C-alpha cells in the first residue's frame, strides 16, 4: 500500500510515465521533490533513474535486500534492488539472458550502481563453498580494476576512466559459475597528462603510499609523489581516500582472484616502469652534420628502469633517441629531436599502461571464466560513459558520444519491441509510434564507406602530408548537405552566421543535443603510433610480462602492415557489444549527477536538466507513453479500487476481469481511455489514473469514517458492559469482605475468652505444683543431713586414725601404674638418632622419667651396636676417632661428616698398573689415596700415591707406580694441620728415622680428616701410642737444610679447598688458605 501510494503521489510520482502534463519542467520538478525526500530512485516504466546523493543512505541493508527479494516490481518503492531482482528472476525462472545498462556522466554514480547490482545478486544467490568462492572472485574484481582504471577528476573522486561490460554466467539453478569482463577505450592519455586538481590513475598513488619500504626499494621508487613528472610533481593527499588501505585491499583482492605472488610482483614492476618513464629527461645536442639530436640527460633513471625490466640501457636509450626507417629496402637510422623524443617516451608509457590494463582484464577473466561445455545463462552489466558535452570536445568525446548514440538506438528499438510484444500478448491493437530514429546519426559516424570514422582512417593511411586541415576539408565536402552535420564552411555555404562554431571544428546534431568537436589531435589519437624501435626494445627485455605485451617487437615477425587505428578498434568493439546486447533482455539504469561540487543532497536544476537531455529521458518517457501510460494485472487493480463500486465491495465472487469491467462500467470514463487485455487493464492517460486515485482516496475517507463510527459504538458498548460487570464484582467482593471482618471479630473475642480461662487454670495448677516441690525438697534435705550425721559418727569411730596414709599410698600407686602403662604405649622408635621422649605427666615423676629415658637410650644403642658388621663397626670407630681429634678444632671436620670413609680410593686390586704397590701392601692396607707433595725448595706441589698400612706409610710415583719413600709408623713423631677448611698437613719425622733424611713431609690431601684418623688408629694399634696432633696456624718443620717456620694465612687468592704454598726466604713459608 505504501509503495503504490508513493508511485501515484501527484507531487512526486514514482514513475515518470504518469507525469501529467509531461514537460521538462514537470519532470525536473518531480526529480527535485523526490531527491528532497531522499528518494533518489525513480522509474520510467521499467527504466530506473538514479540521482547521486553524495552520502550514505540507509536503504542498502540486509533487511532491504530481503524486502526486494522476489518482490512485485511495481508493488514496492523504486530501487536499484528492484531492477536487479527483476533481471535475476527473469534469468533464473524464465530462462532469458539479461543485461543491465548503466549510463551517466562522470560522478553520477555509475560505478557504485554496478557494485550494488553485483552485491544484490550475490546476496540472493544460494550459498555454498564453491558458489561463495565464485561470488567473492566476481566481487573482488572491482577493487583491482578500480585501482588501475579509475582516477580522481574534477567531477568525481573515483571516476572510471574506461568502459566495462561484465557477463556474469549462471547455471540452471541461478547459481553463479563465473564471468567475462570486456573493457572499452581506457583513457591512456591520463598516464602522461592530467589537469590541475585531478590525479593520475589510483594505482600510482596507492603503490607509493601503501607499498612497504622493502617493496619500494625493490621497485626503485621513492614514497614522495612530488618526485614524479607523470604525477605533476604534486602532493597525493585526497580527503576521504586512504591510498595505503586501498593498496592493501587491492592486494587482498588479487589473492582472492588467484594472482600468484610472482604475477603481482611483475605487475607492480611494470607499473613502476611507467611511473619512472616520466622522469626520463631529454636534452638537445648537435651532430657533426649540424642536425639536431636528443640524448638522455639523467642516465640514473634510465639505468633503474633497465634494471627492473632486464634490458641493456644503451638499447633503450637508442630506441628513445633515434628511429629506424626502411627506405628502398635499406634500414636508415635517423635521430629524433627533443619534442619527437618526448613524444616517443610518452607514447611508450601510454602503450605499456594500456596493454598492461588489457593483460590485467585478460588475467582476471582467466580466473573467473566458466569452463567450456557447461550450459549457462548470462546477465551482463554495462558500466560505460554517458553522453559528454564539454567546452572543448576532442576525439575521446566523439568516440564516447558515438557509443551513446548506439546505446540510444538499441534502447528505442528494444523499448518499442517490448511494448509491441506486450500489446500483442494482451490482444490489444498496436498502433505505430512516431519517434526520432537516430540511425541516420549512427550511419553518419560509422558508415564503412562514407562515415566520419572511415574518413579519419583513410586520412591516417594516406601518403603525403596529413593533418587535421585536410581531414576537416574532406568532411565538409562529403557531408555538405547532411542535416545532422555542420561546420564553418557548410554554414557559409548556407549563408548561416554562427560565431560559436570555430574554424577547425565540426558539429553533429546528436539525439541529446548539438556537440561541437575540435579536430585537433584526431589523427594523432586515431593513429596511436608506437615506433617499431620501442616495440623491439620492449621485446628484447628479459621481463616476461613486459615482453609478452609487445609481440610485434619480435624481429622474426616483423610486419610492415600498419596496426588498426583506435577508431576502427572501438567501432569493432561497439559492434560486438551491440550484437551481445541485442541477444539479451535489457534493463536500464540512468545515473544523474545533482551538482558539480559533490555536496551531499544539493540539487542544481540547470545541471540536472542538461543531463536529462543528454540521457534522452524525455524521449524515454514519450516512447513509453506512446500507447497506454498505465497497465496493471486485473487482480491487483481490483484489490486496490474495488471500494469504488457497490458490486465489488467488500468482496467480489466472480473473476478478476469481470470485476474490473463491472467496476469501470460504473465510472464516467470514455471507452477509448480503457483497454482490456487478457491479463491486464490498460489506461491511456495519467489523468484518468489520477482521477481513479482521487476517487479511491475519497472513498477511503468515507470507509474510514464508517469504520471509526462502528468502532466507537462497539467500544462504548464494550466499556458499559465492562463497567457493569465490574460493579457487580465490586459489590460481591465488598459484601464478602464485610462478612469476613465480622467473623474475624467474633473469632477473636472467643479466642480471648478461652485464653483467659486457660490462664486461670494454669496459674492455679502452678501454685499447687510449687507447693508440692517445696515439701519434697524439705524432706530430701532433712534425710540427707540425717544420713551424713550417721556416716560421720561411724567414720570417727572406725577409720579416722590411719585413713590418710592408706589413701595417699593407693593414689600414688595408681598414678605410677597409669604412667608406666602410658609410657609402654608411647615409646619412641628404635632409631639411635631419635632422642625424643614423652614428658612426665606429674611433677613428682620428673626424676624417674629422666632415668627411664637414659636407660632406654643406652639399651637402644646397645641393640644397635649388636647389629653392626665388623666393617661398619671399624668405620664408625674411625669416625669416632676423627670426632675426638678434630671436633670444634678444624673447620673442615663439619664437611666430612656426610662423607663416607672408603679407605681405598685408588682401586689397587682392579688396576694392573698398581700390581707392585698392591704386593707391597698385601693384606695390611689401611688406606690408599692420591695426595700432593709440597716441594721443600720451591713450594710447588707434585702428585704422589699414599699407601697407609698397619706398619708403614708409603709414598709412590703415580706414573711409574714405584715406591719412592717408605716410612715406618714408629718414625712419625707428630702431625700438624691448620684450623681452616684446607687439606694441608705436615708429617713430622724423628731425626733418627731412615726415611726422614731429607726432613719432614708437607702434604695436601682431599681426605685429610680420614687420613689423620686412620694414621692415629694405625699408630695406636702398632705402637700403643697416640698420634701427636697439632691444630695451629704456626709451626716449625725440619728440612735437610735447617728448620723452616710455616705460617698459615687466610687469603682470597687461594682456592676453595686447595692451599697455596709460597716460600718467603730460606727459612720461612706461607700457606695461603681460603
Which cell goes with 1022? 702398632
Q: Beta-carbon neighbour count of residue 258 at 10 Å?
A: 14
Q: What is the dihedral of CA 229, 230, 233, 235, to 10 degrees?
A: -160
Q: What span, in angstroms and rounded, lies between the C-alpha atoms of 925 and 865?
A: 25
Q: Beta-carbon neighbour count of residue 767 at 10 Å?
A: 10
Q: What span, in angstroms and rounded, lies between the C-alpha atoms of 930 and 956?
A: 10
Cβ-proximal residues to 310 (8 Å cutoff; 6+ apart), any chain: 541, 542, 543
Query: Is 284 a catalytic site residue?
Result: no
Sign of CA dihedral 196, 201, 203, 206: positive
Which cell goes with 181? 569482463
Q: Among the options 4, 46, 160, 565, which is catalytic?
A: 160
Q: What span, in angstroms and rounded, lies between the C-alpha atoms of 953 and 975?
A: 13
Upstream peptide bond of 21 is cis (omega within 30 degrees of 0) = yes
- Continuous H helices in 98-170: 110-124, 129-149
Q: What span, in angstroms and rounded, lies between the C-alpha atoms of 180 and 364?
A: 8
Query: Is 159 a catalytic site residue?
Result: yes
Q: Among the options 14, 278, 386, 659, which is catalytic?
A: 386
Q: Among the options 46, 106, 108, 518, which is catalytic?
A: 106
Query: Is 39 a catalytic site residue?
Result: no
Q: What span, in angstroms and rounded, lies between the C-alpha atoms of 963 and 124?
A: 106
Q: Among the options 159, 246, 401, 438, which is catalytic?
A: 159
Query: Is 156 a catalytic site residue?
Result: yes
- Among the listed residues 24, 159, 185, 148, the one whose alpha carbon sits nearest the alpha carbon of residue 593: 159
Query: Is 160 a catalytic site residue?
Result: yes
CB pairs under 8 A, 24+ apart, for 456-465? Answer: 456/522, 456/523, 456/526, 456/565, 456/567, 457/526, 457/565, 457/567, 457/568, 459/523, 460/523, 460/526, 460/527, 460/565, 461/562
Q: Among the options 111, 587, 620, 878, which is catalytic?
A: 111
Provide the phi-psi class of 999: left if phi over 0, else alpha when psi is between -120 and 50, else beta: left
Beta pairing class for 674-676 and 680-683: antiparallel
Give φ, ψ of 783 to 5 degrees: -65, -40
Q: Among the options 169, 317, 388, 693, which is catalytic?
A: 388
Which cell goes with 276? 619512472
Q: What span, in angstroms and rounded, lies between the C-alpha atoms of 224 and 220?
A: 12
Strand partners, 292: 286
Asked whether the beta carbons of 985 and 946 are under 8 A apart, the reply is no
Query: Is 107 a catalytic site residue?
Result: yes
Cβ-proximal residues to 510 (8 Å cutoff; 6+ apart), any chain: 387, 401, 404, 405, 438, 441
- Continuous H helices in 529-655: 532-540, 544-548, 566-582, 605-614, 617-624, 634-641
Asked whether the beta carbons of 43 and 14 are under 8 A apart, the reply is yes
Q: Beta-carbon neighbour count of residue 480 at 10 Å?
A: 14
Q: What span, in angstroms and rounded, lies between the C-alpha atoms of 828 and 830?
A: 7
Which cell goes with 723? 463497567
Q: Among the options 45, 107, 149, 344, which is catalytic?
A: 107
Q: What span, in angstroms and rounded, lies between the C-alpha atoms of 1015 and 221?
A: 89
Upstream peptide bond of 650 is cis (omega within 30 degrees of 0) = yes
* 3-state secondary structure string across 919-969: HHHHHHEEEEEEEEEECCCCCCEEEEEEEEECCEEEEEECCCCEEEEEEEH
Q: What span, in angstroms and rounded, lies between the C-alpha atoms of 25 and 877?
A: 130
User: What are the C-alpha distances in Å from 815 to residues 110, 809, 837?
Assistant: 114, 10, 19
Residues carrying an active site annotation: 106-107, 111, 156, 159-160, 386, 388
Amino acid at each position: 500500500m505504501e509503495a503504490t501510494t508513493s508511485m501515484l503521489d501527484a507531487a512526486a510520482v514514482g514513475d515518470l510515465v504518469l507525469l501529467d502534463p509531461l514537460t521538462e519542467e514537470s519532470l525536473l520538478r518531480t526529480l527535485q521533490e523526490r531527491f528532497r525526500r531522499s528518494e533518489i530512485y525513480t522509474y520510467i516504466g521499467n527504466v530506473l533513474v538514479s540521482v547521486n546523493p553524495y552520502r550514505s543512505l540507509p536503504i542498502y541493508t540486509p533487511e532491504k535486500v530481503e524486502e526486494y527479494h522476489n518482490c512485485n516490481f511495481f508493488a514496492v518503492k523504486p530501487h536499484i534492488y528492484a531492477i536487479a531482482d527483476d533481471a535475476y528472476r527473469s534469468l533464473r525462472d524464465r530462462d532469458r539472458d539479461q543485461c543491465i545498462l548503466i549510463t551517466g556522466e562522470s560522478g553520477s554514480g555509475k560505478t557504485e550502481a554496478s557494485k550494488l547490482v553485483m552485491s544484490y545478486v550475490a546476496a540472493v544467490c544460494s550459498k555454498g563453498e564453491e558458489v561463495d568462492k565464485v561470488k567473492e572472485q566476481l566481487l573482488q574484481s572491482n577493487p583491482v580494476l578500480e585501482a588501475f582504471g579509475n582516477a580522481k577528476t574534477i567531477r568525481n573522486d573515483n571516476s572510471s576512466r574506461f568502459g566495462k561490460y561484465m557477463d556474469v554466467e549462471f547455471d540452471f539453478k541461478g547459481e553463479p559459475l563465473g564471468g567475462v569482463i570486456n573493457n572499452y577505450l581506457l583513457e591512456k592519455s591520463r598516464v602522461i597528462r592530467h589537469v590541475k586538481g585531478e590525479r593520475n590513475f589510483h594505482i600510482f598513488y596507492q603503490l607509493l603510499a601503501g607499498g612497504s619500504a622493502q617493496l619500494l626499494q625493490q621497485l626503485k621508487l621513492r614514497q614522495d609523489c612530488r618526485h614524479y613528472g607523470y604525477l605533476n610533481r604534486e602532493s597525493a593527499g585526497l580527503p576521504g581516500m586512504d591510498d595505503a588501505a586501498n593498496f592493501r585491499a587491492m592486494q587482498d583482492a588479487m589473492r582472492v582472484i588467484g594472482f600468484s605472488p610472482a604475477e603481482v610482483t611483475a605487475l607492480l614492476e611494470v607499473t613502476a616502469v611507467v611511473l619512472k618513464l616520466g622522469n626520463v629527461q631529454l636534452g638537445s645536442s648537435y651532430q657533426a652534420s649540424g642536425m639536431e639530436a636528443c640524448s638522455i640527460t639523467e642516465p640514473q633513471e634510465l639505468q633503474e628502469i633497465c634494471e627492473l625490466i632486464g634490458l641493456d640501457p644503451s638499447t633503450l636509450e637508442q630506441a628513445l633517441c633515434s628511429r629506424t626507417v626502411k627506405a628502398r629496402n635499406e634500414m636508415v637510422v635517423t635521430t629524433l629531436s627533443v619534442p619527437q623524443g618526448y613524444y616517443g617516451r610518452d607514447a611508450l608509457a601510454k602503450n605499456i599502461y594500456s596493454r598492461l590494463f588489457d593483460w590485467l582484464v585478460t588475467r582476471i577473466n582467466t580466473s573467473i571464466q566458466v569452463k567450456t561445455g557447461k550450459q549457462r545463462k548470462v546477465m551482463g552489466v554495462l558500466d560505460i560513459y554517458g553522453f559528454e558535452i564539454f567546452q572543448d570536445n576532442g576525439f575521446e568525446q566523439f568516440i564516447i558520444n558515438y557509443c551513446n548514440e548506439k546505446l540510444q538506438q538499441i534502447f528505442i528499438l528494444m523499448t518499442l519491441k517490448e511494448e509491441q510484444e506486450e500489446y500483442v500478448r494482451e490482444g490489444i491493437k498496436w498502433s505505430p509510434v512516431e519517434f526520432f530514429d537516430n540511425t541516420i546519426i549512427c550511419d553518419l559516424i560509422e558508415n564503412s564507406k562514407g562515415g566520419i570514422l572511415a574518413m579519419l582512417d583513410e586520412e591516417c593511411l594516406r601518403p603525403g602530408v596529413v593533418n587535421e586541415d585536410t581531414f576537416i576539408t574532406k568532411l565538409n565536402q562529403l557531408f555538405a548537405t547532411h542535416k545532422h552535420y555542420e561546420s564553418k564552411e557548410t554554414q557559409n555555404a548556407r549563408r548561416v552566421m554562427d560565431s560559436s562554431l570555430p574554424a577547425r571544428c565540426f558539429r553533429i546534431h546528436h539525439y541529446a543535443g548539438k556537440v561541437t568537436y575540435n579536430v585537433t589531435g584526431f589523427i594523432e589519437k586515431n593513429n596511436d603510433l608506437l615506433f617499431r624501435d620501442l616495440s623491439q626494445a620492449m621485446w628484447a627485455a628479459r621481463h616476461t610480462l613486459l615482453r609478452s605485451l609487445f609481440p610485434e617487437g619480435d624481429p622474426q615477425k616483423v610486419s610492415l602492415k600498419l596496426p588498426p587505428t583506435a577508431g576502427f578498434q572501438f567501432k569493432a568493439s561497439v559492434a560486438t557489444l551491440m550484437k551481445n546486447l541485442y541477444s539479451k533482455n535489457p534493463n536500464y539504469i540512468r545515473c544523474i549527477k545533482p551538482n558539480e561540487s559533490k555536496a551531499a543532497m544539493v540539487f542544481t536544476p540547470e545541471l540536472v536538466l542538461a543531463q536529462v537531455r543528454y540521457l534522452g529521458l524525455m524521449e524515454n518517457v514519450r516512447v513509453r507513453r506512446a500507447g497506454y501510460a498505465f497497465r496493471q494485472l486485473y487482480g491487483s487493480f481490483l484489490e486496490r479500487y474495488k471500494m469504488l463500486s457497490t458490486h465489488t465491495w467488500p468482496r467480489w465472487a466472480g473473476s478478476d476481469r469481470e470485476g474490473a469491467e463491472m467496476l469501470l462500467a460504473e465510472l464516467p470514463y470514455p471507452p477509448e481511455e480503457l483497454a482490456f487485455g487478457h491479463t491486464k487493464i490498460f489506461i491511456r492517460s495519467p489523468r484518468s489514473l489520477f482521477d481513479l486515485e482521487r476517487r479511491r482516496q475519497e472513498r477511503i475517507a468515507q470507509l474510514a469514517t464508517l469504520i471509526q463510527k462502528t468502532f466507537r459504538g462497539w467500544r462504548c458498548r464494550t466499556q458499559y458492559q465492562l463497567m457493569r460487570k465490574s460493579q457487580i464484582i465490586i459489590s460481591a467482593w465488598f459484601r464478602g469482605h464485610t462478612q469476613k471482618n465480622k467473623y474475624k471479630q467474633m473469632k477473636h473475642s472467643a479466642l480471648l475468652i478461652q485464653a483467659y480461662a486457660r490462664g486461670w487454670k494454669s496459674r492455679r495448677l502452678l501454685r499447687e505444683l510449687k507447693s508440692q516441690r517445696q515439701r519434697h525438697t524439705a524432706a530430701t534435705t532433712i534425710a540427707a543431713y540425717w544420713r551424713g550425721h550417721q556416716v560421720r559418727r561411724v567414720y570417727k569411730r572406725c577409720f579416722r586414725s590411719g585413713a590418710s596414709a592408706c589413701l595417699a599410698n593407693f593414689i600414688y600407686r595408681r598414678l605410677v601404674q597409669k604412667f608406666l602403662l602410658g609410657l609402654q604405649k608411647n615409646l619412641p622408635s628404635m632409631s639411635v638418632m631419635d632422642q625424643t621422649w614423652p614428658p612426665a605427666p606429674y611433677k613428682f615423676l620428673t626424676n624417674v622419667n629422666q632415668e627411664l629415658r637414659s636407660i632406654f637410650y643406652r639399651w637402644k644403642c646397645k641393640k644397635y651396636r649388636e647389629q653392626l658388621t665388623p666393617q661398619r663397626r671399624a668405620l664408625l670407630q674411625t669416625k669416632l676417632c676423627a670426632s675426638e681429634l678434630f671436633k670444634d678444632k678444624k673447620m673442615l671436620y663439619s664437611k666430612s661428616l656426610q662423607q663416607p670413609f672408603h679407605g681405598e680410593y685408588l682401586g689397587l686390586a682392579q688396576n694392573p698398573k698398581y700390581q707392585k704397590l698392591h704386593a707391597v701392601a698385601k693384606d695390611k692396607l689401611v688406606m690408599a689415596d692420591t695426595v700432593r707433595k709440597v716441594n721443600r725448595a720451591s713450594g710447588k706441589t707434585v702428585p704422589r700415591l699414599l699407601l697407609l698400612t698397619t706398619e708403614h706409610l708409603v709414598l709412590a710415583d703415580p706414573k711409574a707406580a714405584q715406591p719412592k719413600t717408605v716410612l715406618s709408623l714408629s718414625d712419625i713423631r707428630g702431625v700438624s694441620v691448620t684450623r681452616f677448611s684446607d687439606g694441608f698437613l705436615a708429617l713430622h719425622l724423628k731425626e733418627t728415622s731412615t726415611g726422614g733424611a731429607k726432613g719432614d713431609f708437607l702434604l695436601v690431601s682431599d681426605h685429610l680428616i680420614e687420613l689423620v684418623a686412620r694414621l692415629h688408629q694405625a699408630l695406636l694399634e702398632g705402637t700403643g701410642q697416640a698420634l701427636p696432633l697439632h691444630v695451629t696456624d704456626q709451626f716449625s718443620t725440619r728440612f735437610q737444610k735447617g728448620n723452616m717456620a710455616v705460617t698459615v694465612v687466610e687469603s682470597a687468592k687461594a682456592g676453595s679447598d686447595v692451599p697455596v704454598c709460597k716460600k718467603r726466604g730460606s727459612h720461612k713459608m706461607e700457606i695461603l688458605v681460603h
